[in-house]
Amino acid sequence: MNIITREEVLKIAKISRITVHENEIDGLIKQLNDILGYAQKVQALAQKLGDIEPMGNTNVNLFRQDIPHSFDAKLLLERAPEHESGYFVVPKIIEGK
pLDDT of 72-91, one tens digit each? 888 889 899 999 998 999 98
CA distance 32 to 14: 16
Angle separating helix axes 25-49 and 6-16, nearest 10 degrees: 100
Question: Would you state the pLDDT for residue 64?
Answer: 85
Question: Would you state the pLDDT for residue 59?
Answer: 74
Question: Would you state the pLDDT for residue 30?
Answer: 94
Asked whether the predicted pLDDT for residue 1 surpasses 70, the reply is no
Question: Would you state the pLDDT for residue 11?
Answer: 94
- Averaged pLDDT for residues 46-62: 76
Q: Is 88 helix (H, G, I), strand (E, B) or coil?
A: strand
Question: Would you state the pLDDT for residue 94?
Answer: 85
